[in-house]
Amino acid sequence: MADGEGDPGVFTATALPGDPRLLPTVTNALLGTRVFRDILHAAGVYSGAAGDTHRADVPSPLGLRMAAPGAAQSFALDTWTGTFSHTIQCPGYTATQQLYAHHSLVHLMASSVTIRRLDGSTHPITVQLQSLFVPQSQDLQLSSGPDFQGAHYIYGQTLVPEVEGGPRPTVHMLWTPIPQWLTLGGEERERCWQFLTAVAGSEEEAKRSYSAGLSLAAAGSLLRSHIHAWAALRRGSSVELDGPPALRQALHGCLYYLLSALPPRDSPGVPFHGISPGGLSNGTRGEDYWGHVFWDQDTWMFPNILLLHPGAARAILHYRIRTLEGAKRNAREQGYEGAKFPWESAATGREVCPEEIYGEQEIHISGDVLMAFEQYYCTTQDLKLFQEDGGWELVEAVAQYWCSRMVWSEEEQLYHIRGVMPPDEYHSQVDNSAYTNAVARRSLNFAAVLARDLLLPAPEEWEDRARKIKVPFDEERKYHPEYDGYSPGEPVKQADVVLLGFPLMHPMSAEVRRNDLEMYEPVTDPVGPAMTWSMFAVGWLELKEPQRAWSQLEKCFSNITEPFKVWVENADGSGAVNFLTGMGGFLQVILFGFTGFRITRSALLFDPAFPDSVTKLKLSSISYLGNRLEVTITSEEIRMAVTEASWDPPASPLEVVLESGQRFPLWEGQSVSFPTAPGWIQRSPSSTP
């Protein structure tokens, strides 16, 4: 879609990108594929041991495509309905193929082809289907089973377990046979053919999902049921702004791809398997980090998900809890206590990074995981996660790890963490990475606070070490060196020290915050990972320099490919595609930068700042302490309303407090407005209207 034309949430084209990696993805929490691709992936299904662990390629019958010799073609990704379509227009008829990953029947993907006669002719109309599907896989030992309700059936296990002696996931797949030709009879005006693919870990679930899909298709409501489920997801995360068309399109694209990765609200019993940088559709051997889960999930994607869908945020935390035993073993093998989360994680929590240096040195990941738990706790006060579901055990284990990883410096009278790789991966084996040590400090403080809240004993050393850990600071230049011995001007790969300001909220003055931004902005690799410039943008918005922020945010657009707004990791096109990490950073500019939202232990702070090109921002469903808030911000006015308050557990009544001292109670169904100014949302001291 050209800038400024049509619906910003529908991306159309008359030709496909030359690089098939840039085709759009259709994904739900359990299944994903790129359009016209002959493989799909199922969540949690990995093959290969340790550093060779990768998403297992499942053969996909859904890669079919209508042949269109000489016909006019168009393609569309509709982010409102969660569907991709391909239309061919010929004299006398049109044929349209639609593809989607069903968002309530999450073990089901579907494709349909509709041929529609446009004139009064009575001759048969035939469309050829092209398919590369072969029921074989390089990662699965597959066998054929008996047909079921007209569907073919294969099943099998992955070839190699992630850890020796570990389980090999099983895949069961049913699919509608794909004919070579579809023919609309001479007496027919229109006909739709449905092609279903069900993939699950058991024969029973695959058959149940396929049968349910057939029933909905027979009733003419298969697509409608998907659109209904997807629309509910979109409504629960509606973010609208008045601004440049390219910004609005980028926003819709980011929401589409990130929301596609989330677990459905009505499937709490289905375990969630985390979000990798390239999403579920990517991650075969040798591409997109092989489908592994990094800090990208916890630091870059999670904060957006938390504000919009706390239930999905909880599922992400459960993924980390499920892999805690693997993280504990990682720590033991390196000679430390507690839990060291892997730099690259798959199904077990063991380190699966193909290159040893990252798994050994990029240890900030454990603090990144814990920061997500802290943000969730502050935003939801969900005690059950910590008291009953294993959350406390994880927090305690990470705190133990940090204590065992530190050493005391007699010379400086501070704790050091030595021999690490910071987020800036151009440097390794450094001492006292500012980011690593600051996130460790935050981990220990949170563990101590949570222990008090849960009335649990906690070692005094947690807070003592948090106070005494070294975070490098140059008193003369008033900035944070990236690590001990960093020289100003040394090239940096990506956002690193700037993350101290946000999301870490490490204590510092506005002068130091500015100095950090100005020190690192010119030396950060211009073709580094896409999420980097988002954090510079948030920093400048915080300092009320929105035009400098906009100049940073604009750099992200070179990572967004046309026509389907698929992000690439690096501006030169290299790295992961469908780069959800970059999208997560971009969304944080809008959800945390434009709004000034900051999650603290006692309140949700706000302090809006817009670039000149943005005039209005409306967030329809921000979650805080069991309440759903609608927030509308312009440069002149902020309007807030609680649109829904949970009953079980009961939501905390809220109030808005401005820095000027004014207070506004937030009662469900009533809106309040006030001139745009900084303030915060907190629990109301009164629980009755």
pLDDT tens digits, one per residue of 213-262: 999 999 999 999 999 999 999 998 999 999 999 999 999 999 999 999 99
Catalytic, out of 287, 425, 545, 554: 425
Question: How far is residue 46's CA from residue 285's CA, in Å, rounded to a whole number?
Answer: 10
Q: Is residue 108 within 8 Å of 197, Cβ to Cβ?
A: yes
618-637 pLDDT, tens digit per residue, is: 999 999 999 999 999 999 99
> Residue 419, Cα to own-chain centre: how many angstroms?
30
Residue 200 CA to residue 208 CA, distance in Å, equals: 10
The answer for residues whose C-beta is within 8 angstroms of residue 288's C-beta and 6 or more apart is 276, 277, 278, 282, 576, 577, 578
Omega cis (within 30) before 563: yes
Mean pLDDT of 566-584: 95
Q: Are 55 and 70 in contact (CB under 8 A)?
A: no
DSSP label at residue 589: I
Is residue 355 classed as helix, strand or coil in its secondary structure?
Answer: coil
Residue 268: predicted pLDDT: 61
pLDDT digits (tens, 9 = 90+) for 92-109: 999 999 999 999 999 999
Percent residues over pLDDT 90 in the chain: 95
- In the predicted structure, residue 263 carries a pLDDT above the cut 90: no
Residue 61 has pLDDT above 60, yes or no: yes
Q: Which residues of 202-215 are buried (b: 16+ CB within 10 A; e: fewer)?
A: eeeebbebbbbbbe
Cβ-contact 72, 81 below 8 angstroms: no
Specify the pLDDT at position 580.
98
As a whole number, mean pLDDT of residues 148-166 equals 97
What Å distances lie between residue 662 and 91, 199, 529, 630, 678, CA to CA? 67, 55, 42, 20, 11
Q: What is the pLDDT of residues 291-307, one digit of tens each?
A: 999 999 999 999 999 99
- Please say whether the beta carbons of 183 and 124 come within 8 A: yes
In angstroms, the CA 598 to CA 322 distance is 28
In this structure, the dihedral spanned by the alpha carbons of residues 228, 232, 237 and 242, taken in order and rounded to 10 degrees, is: 50
Helix axes 391-405, 434-453, angle to 10 degrees: 140
Mean pLDDT across the stretch 258-269? 81
- SS3 at position 22: helix
Cis peptide before 649 (omega within 30 of 0): yes
Percent of the chain that is helix, strand, coil (3-state, to 5): 30, 25, 40
Residue 425 is a catalytic residue? yes
What is the token pair recorded at 347?
Answer: 């199904």
How confident is the model over 17-45, as pLDDT tens digits? 999 999 999 999 999 999 999 999 999 99
How many angstroms separate the CA atoms of 250 and 585, rounded?
12
The whole-number average pLDDT for the span 399-417 is 98
For residues 310 and 379, the answer to whether their CB atoms sit within 8 Å is: yes
- CA torsion 310→312→315→319, rounded to 10°? -120
Q: Which two tokens stand for residue 71?
A: 């016909």
Q: Grade residue 264 by pLDDT with cuts at 50, 70 and 90.
A: confident
Q: Residue 456 carries which side chain, given as an amino acid letter?
A: L
Kindly report, residue by residue over 358-382, the tens digit of the pLDDT: 999 999 999 999 999 999 999 999 9
Q: What is the pLDDT of residues 439-483, one digit of tens each?
A: 999 999 999 999 999 999 999 999 999 999 999 999 999 999 999
Pairing between β-strand 25-27 and β-strand 31-34 as defined by DSSP bridges: antiparallel
- 594 pairs with which residues across the strands? none
Structure confidence at residue 6 as a pLDDT band (50, 70, 90): confident
End-to-end CA gap in the chain: 49
Residue 686 has pLDDT above 80, yes or no: no
pLDDT-based confidence at residue 689 (cuts at 50, 70, 90):
very low
Q: From CA 227, how far away is CA 240, in angstroms rounded?
A: 20
Let me know: does 341 contact 328? Beta carbons within 8 Å.
no
Q: What is the DSSP letter of 290?
A: G
Euclidean distance between CA atoms 396 and 19, whole angstroms: 46
| Cβ(551)–Cβ(522) below 8 Å | no
CA distance 268 to 315: 8
Residue 335's contacts (CB-CB under 8 Å, 6 or more residues apart) are none
Q: Is the predicted pLDDT of residue 552 greater than 90, yes or no?
A: yes
What gap in Å lies between CA 629 and CA 488, rounded to an integer? 44
Neighbours of 16 (CB within 10 A): 17
Closest by CA to 373, choosing from 364, 363, 360, 382, is 382
For residue 547, is pLDDT > 80? yes
Regarding pTM above 0.75, the answer is: yes
The pLDDT of 129-155, averaged and rounded, is 97
CA distances, 81 to each of 47, 110, 223, 235 (Å): 33, 14, 9, 11
What are 594's two structure tokens? Answer: 């434009």
Nearest to residue 515, comparing CAs of 479, 482, 476, 552?
479
User: What burial letters (b/e) apply to 410-434, b meaning 16+ CB within 10 Å?
Assistant: eeeebbbbeebbbbbbebeebbbbb
Q: Among 67-71, 412-416, 624-628, where is mean pLDDT lowest?
A: 67-71
Query: At 73, is the secondary structure helix, strand, or coil?
Result: strand
Is residue 404 within 8 Å of residue 413, measured between CB atoms? no
Mean pLDDT, the chain, rounded, equals 96
Alpha-carbon distance of 485 to 501, in angstroms, equals 21
CB 578 within 8 A of CB 281: yes
pLDDT at 687: 54
pLDDT per position as a tens digit, 578-624: 999 999 999 999 999 999 999 999 999 999 999 999 999 999 999 99
How far is residue 27's CA from residue 109's CA, in Å, rounded to a whole number? 9
In DSSP notation, 393-458 reads HHHHHHHHHHHHH-EEETTTTEEE--SB--SSTT--SBS--HHHHHHHHHHHHHHHHHHHHTT---
Taking the C-alpha atoms of residue 572 and residue 634, their distance in angstroms, rounded to an integer, is 36
C-beta separation of 178 from 209 below 8 A = no
Q: How large is the average pLDDT for residues 475-493?
A: 97
